[in-house]
Amino acid sequence: MVAGSAGSFDPCTYETSIYKYYERPNIKLEMQTSSINENSSSTSNIFIYPNPTNGIINIKNPYKIHATIEILNSVGQIIFSKQLNKTINIQKIDLSGYSEEIYLLKIHNNHNMKVEKLIIQ
């Protein structure tokens, strides 16, 4: 790997009138990998769209995660709750009877929780 070069300049053997540098840079690269499989139980793998919505939302659950969806109003009251059907990839929920407002959408199971804003317009 070349860090940079200009003419005969070698960044690892840089020489000034006072100092000489003959050391190579010490670079450490770390990598984390994550894989999602069908047994994954993370609620981050559940997607809600469209958002903002006119009242109809789609819940995409491609890894068939067991979870509960709750919608909370601005004072924190649960106004809607539903257990996700693990056998269905995309589920539709009709919220068109609710007022135009910003709600909190909470998806949770025994392992973790995901919270996001849901805007009905």
Per the prediction, the chain carries an average pLDDT of 81
Q: What predicted TM-score, i.e. pTM, was given to this entire model?
A: 0.63
Domain ranges (residues) in the chain = 43-120
Q: What's 39's DSSP letter?
A: T
Judge whether residue 56 has pLDDT over 70.
Answer: yes
pLDDT tens string 78-100: 999 999 988 888 999 999 999 99
Burial call 82-108: b when 16+ CB within 10 Å, e when fewer: eebeeeeeeeebebeeeeeeebebbbe
State residue 105's pLDDT score: 95
- At the top level of CATH, which class does the domain 43-120 belong to? mainly beta
